Structure 1
C-alpha cells in the first residue's frame, strides 16, 4: 500500500527520536542492510535519494523529455542526476549560488540559470526562451513560495509539476485554477520515499550517482546543533553529522 500516506504514520526524527545519536532503536522493517563495501557516509544519502526517486517515478520522464529543476540543494542536485538517468535530454537547473550551478552542470544539467539575474519564466518558457512554451516536467525542490508559483508557469500545456521541496506548513502560494484547467497541468506532491531505499542504495553503491561532491563537510554530534540552527555557508550542499568525529 501507500505507506507514506498512512494516517498513523510515525516518522523517525519527527514523531520519535531520530538519527542524530550513536545508537537508535527502530522498527525492524525500517532497517535496511547496505550493500557490502558501501561507504557509510554514502549510505546516509539513501534517504534523500529515495525521496528523489519517488518524485521521478511519479513524473514519468520519458527518453528525450525536457526537465526543469528549481533549487540547487542536495535534493535538486540528486534530481538532476536521476532525470539524466531517466532519459531527459534537456535538464535546466535554477539556483542562486554560482558554485551549485557549476556543480549541477558537472552532474548532468544541460544549462543552469541564476534567478537573480534573469526572469526565470521568460528565460525558460518565454517566446525566445530555452524551451518556448515550457518543459515536459518541472521539479520544485526548493520548498519556497516563489519557486512553487514558478513551477506551474514553467510546465508546457499537458506537462507535469512535481512538488518535492518541503514548504513550511501554512505558507500559501498563488496560482490560477483556469490555467491548470486550460493547459491540463498535472500537479503532484511527492512525499517521503516509499519502497525506494533499496534502489537508492544500489544506485549509490554502483557509483551511478555522484555522492562525494555533494558532501561539503563533516561535523561531530557536539557541533550539530550549531550547524542546524544556522543557514548553510555559501556553496555548501550537504553537511554530514558523524558520531565520535573529533
Structure 2
C-alpha cells in the first residue's frame, strides 16, 4: 500500500473526529496575497518519526507585509512542532499566509496545527491560507486550509475530502463520518455543499471526492473564499 493511500486514511476524516474545534475568531484580512517567485528559507527538518512517513518540507519567506509559511508534504509530529515554533517566533500581529501542498497526514499533529492557527487568529494575527495552481490540498490538509481566512486558491488547485478511516484497518463508521461532517461545517464549509458531497458518495467510504477551486467557488462551498486570478 502506498504512503499516499495510508495518509488519506489518517487524514481529514480522522482529524475532524479528534477533540473539539470551534470556528475561527476575528477575521483578519491580508490584502494582496504575496506573489510567487520569492526566495524562501527552509526551516530545519526534525528527524521523522517513521521513515515511511517523511515530514513535509516547511519553508518561511518574508514577502511584502506578510510572512509566508509553506507546508509541502505529509503533516507529521515533526512538522507540527516546527510550525508551532515558527508561529511563536513571529512578531506580534504580523500577517501570515500558510501555503499548503499536502496529501494529508496524522490526526494529532494536524489538529494541533489547526488549534495553533485558530488561537493566533483569535489573538488578532491575520492568517490567510493559500493553494497554488496545479497543487492539491487533500484529506486532513483541507481542515488546516479552512482554519485560515481569507482562503486563497488558484482556479486549478484541487481539494479532496472523504470519509474517515483508521490507518490500522481502513474501517469507517457512521458516527465518525457524522463527526467529520459537523467539524467541516464548524470550520466554515457550506452545509449545502456538504449535502452535494454526500449525494455524490463522497462520505460513503468508497469515493475520494475531488473538486478544483473554481468549481468549489461556483458551488458556493465556502472552502475557497478568494480565487487567485
Would the TM-score normalized by the shorter structure come out above 0.5? Answer: no
TM-score by length of 2: 0.29
TM-score by length of 1: 0.28
The structure whose Rg is larger is 1
